[in-house]
Structure 1
Amino acid sequence: MKILVTGGAGYIGTHTCVELLKAGYEIVVVDNFSNSKPEALERVREISNKDFPVYAIDLLDREGLTAVFAENKISAVIHFAGLKAVGESVSKPLTYYHNNITGTLNLCHVMEKFEVNNMVFSSSATVYGLQQCVPLHEDLPLQATNPYGRTKLMIEEILRDIYQSDQNWSIALLRYFNPIGAHRSGKIGEDPNGIPNNLVPFISQVAAKKLPKLNVFGDDYPTHDGTGVRDYIHVVDLAIGHLKALEIILTNKGIEAYNLGTGKGYSVFEVIQAFEKVTGKSIPYELQTRRPGDIAVSYADPAKAEKELNWTAGKDLHDMCRDFWKWQTSNPNGYETRKQASTS
């Protein structure tokens, strides 16, 4: 059974490819490599000891995407591809709306043409916006607060409309919380372009002395230590969640949303302390004022995923920090590390 993975060279995509291959699925990867590197897929091949076709095309290229479906008998799609930086989405909203939404529309048109009706969609907890209650559950009203989040919300609504028009479709909308960590081999992990936007890659680069210090935005939140609390989930747990969702959509019709989180919140200071404990290194930080739009506490209610997908997160914060640090120390320059070593 062949599974098409769009954006399969990305952080979550590579880890999901590994788990799919481990579970016995065949995969076909489509990625435009705008925010990822072909080397990441070479590492997936090494870890899995399996080969698979890769197409360097953009979802905006409907003709190219059609050729992928014509050449491969696809049974289902796991759809990661899309631009994902919140800050950039605010400064380039048209780029985000065009890329994320038009790309998904093209994908759905081609899927419809080839009668492929099974999709796992990479959504985000950003669709909840600024909620005043925790934990966040799937039935809350949705209210994304930035263009990136709104593209995820709009795509969720588009997919609901597609199902309403044709109930042969089967779709899982997976709302991620904060993925961190890396594969235990240290061969694949998060490789951000430039200065990281996310907390743990930033901490890791401070620990590796690639960055001088961490900025902590706000220590006056109504939390136990004053810093913001978020639900961090190990990327391998997240990848396994996609396999569980895939099993459901291959055997059931319908459309459902699921939170993928641990159900536990960790503060910024707790993450720093966990990382210091794992690495034995001090993480210098500087307190800054709160960022506009940030809320005090956000974590998932994962009960629906546990009940319907038979999925729970199995790794804790120590595991997440340990595995990310192994990735960082094994690949100080990300996926460029091996290339640099081979030319030196």
Structure 2
Amino acid sequence: MKIVVTGGLGFIGSHTVVELQNEGFEVVIIDNLSNSSREVLEGIEAITSIVPIFEEMDLRDKQSVQQFFKKHSDVSAVIHFAASKAVGESVEDPLLYYENNINTLVYVLQELQKKPASQFIFSSSCTVYGQAEKMPITENASIQIAMSPYGNTKQIGEEIITDVVRVSNINAILLRYFNPIGAHPTAHIGELPIGVPQNLVPFITQTGIGMRQELAVYGDDYPTSDGTCVRDYIHVVDLAKAHVAAMKRLLQNKNKEKVETFNVGTGTGSTVLEVINTFEKVSGKKLPYKIVGRREGDITSAYANTDKANEELGWKALSTLEDGLASAWKWEQKIRS
């Protein structure tokens, strides 16, 4: 079975490619290398002994998307990661996010809609819940007004998929991620942001290795145990395995609806300061940080109820926060050595 993974050289995409290949799937990667590197292919090969097919292209180019699906006419299953993903950047440049995250989704779905039957997994986000009224968050939680353009693109994306599936032969699963962290245990692939990291853990590891002078903690006046934001940090390998479970569900016709939604997290919330303290524990490094003002678009707290994914997908997050941070630190040390 051949599966297209868009954004397949990115952080989550590359780990998912590894898990798919480990399960015997043939993978075709699409990536424009805007926030990734061709060298990731070498890491995937080092882990799996397989070099996936790679097509360098920008999904914002509609003609290129059409040509790709003509060339790979036997493909009817897509895992769609390709998107811009930083909350802060989306606030500063919303049109970039609407173009990159919405247009690309539409162009891919237009091609899948032409096929007799297609399977589609969408890389969604817990940001669709906004600041949920109740913790932990279930899939039935109401969708709040988005706190950022990034979050809004995920809400709109889910709506587009739901509308398209209703009138086509596409079956879809929406995976709402919480906060992916870590790296493959081999340290052959991991998170490699281009420029200043937008996410907490790579900023922590870059500060630990001495690339950054200090870490900024955005706000210590939230109504949480220590005043800092609470998030659900899931190991990227666990997250990747959830995609394999979701794809198998679709291919084996085990889905109960044409569009299904699953939270993918650990079910445990950790504050920013808890993450910092845990990193210091696993790395033996003292981390310099300073408290600064709140960041626009950030919510107070978000952690998952994962009962549905555990029961329906037969999937469960197995790694701890310590595991995720230790693997991220191992990766950081390797790429800087």
TM bucket normalised to smaller: over 0.9
| Contact 1:7/1:80 (<8 A) preserved | yes
For 1:341, the equivalent position in structure 2 comes to none
1:25 aligns with 2:25: yes
TM-score where L is the length of structure 2: 0.95
For 1:41, the equivalent position in structure 2 comes to 41
Secondary structure of 2:113 counterpart: helix
| Contact 1:69/1:114 (<8 A) preserved | no
For 2:122, the equivalent position in structure 1 comes to 121
For 1:307, the equivalent position in structure 2 comes to 311
Structure 1 residue 293 displacement after superposition: 4.3
| Contact 2:131/2:302 (<8 A) preserved | no
Structure 1 residue 46 displacement after superposition: 1.6
Secondary structure of 1:331 counterpart: helix
Structure 1 residues 56 and 116 mapped into 2: Cα distance closer, same or farther (>3 Å)? farther
Matched to 2:316, the amino acid is: T
After superposition, where does 1:276-291 map in structure 2 within 5 Å?
276-291=280-295
Secondary structure of 1:74 counterpart: coil
Gaps of 5+ in 2: none
Structure 1 residues 293 and 103 mapped into 2: Cα distance closer, same or farther (>3 Å)? closer
Question: What do the CA deviations read for 1:15-39 (whole angstroms, capped 9, x no partner)?
Answer: 0000000011000011111111111
Matched to 2:259, the amino acid is: I
| Contact 2:86/2:199 (<8 A) preserved | no
For 2:135, the equivalent position in structure 1 comes to 134
Matched to 1:126, the amino acid is: T
Matched to 1:79, the amino acid is: H
1:248 aligns with 2:274: no
After superposition, where does 1:140-179 map in structure 2 within 5 Å?
140-143=141-144, 144-166=146-168, 168-179=169-180
Structure 1 runs of 4+ aligned residues shifted over 6 Å read none
Moved more, 44-53 or 5-14: 44-53
Percent identical pairs in the alignment equals 48
Structure 1 residues 296 and 93 mapped into 2: Cα distance closer, same or farther (>3 Å)? closer
After superposition, where does 1:1-344 map in structure 2 within 5 Å?
1-72=1-72, 73-143=74-144, 144-166=146-168, 168-252=169-253, 254-332=258-336
Matched to 1:313, the amino acid is: A
Secondary structure of 1:278 counterpart: helix
Structure 1 residue 224 displacement after superposition: 2.1
| Contact 1:62/1:110 (<8 A) preserved | no
Secondary structure of 1:29 counterpart: strand
Matched to 1:151, the amino acid is: T
TM-score where L is the length of structure 1: 0.93
For 1:340, the equivalent position in structure 2 comes to none
Structure 2: distance between partners of 1:216 and 1:96: 25
Structure 1 residue 116 displacement after superposition: 4.6
For 1:342, the equivalent position in structure 2 comes to none
Gaps of 5+ in 1: 338-344
Structure 1: distance between partners of 2:79 and 2:22: 16
Structure 1: distance between partners of 2:296 and 2:84: 22
Secondary structure of 1:78 counterpart: strand
Q: How many residues align?
A: 332
Structure 1 residue 245 displacement after superposition: 0.6
Structure 2: distance between partners of 1:12 and 1:292: 25
Structure 1: distance between partners of 2:150 and 2:293: 24
| Contact 2:41/2:51 (<8 A) preserved | no
Structure 1 residue 62 displacement after superposition: 2.8
Matched to 1:163, the amino acid is: V
Secondary structure of 1:258 counterpart: strand
| Contact 2:112/2:170 (<8 A) preserved | no
Question: What do the CA deviations read for 1:155-179 (whole angstroms, capped 9, x no partner)?
Answer: 100110112113x321000000000
Question: What do the CA deviations read for 1:188-216 (whole angstroms, capped 9, x no partner)?
Answer: 11111111111111111111011111112
| Contact 1:8/1:29 (<8 A) preserved | yes
Moved more, 81-90 or 110-119: 110-119
Q: Let me know the Cα RMSD of the aligned residues.
A: 1.4
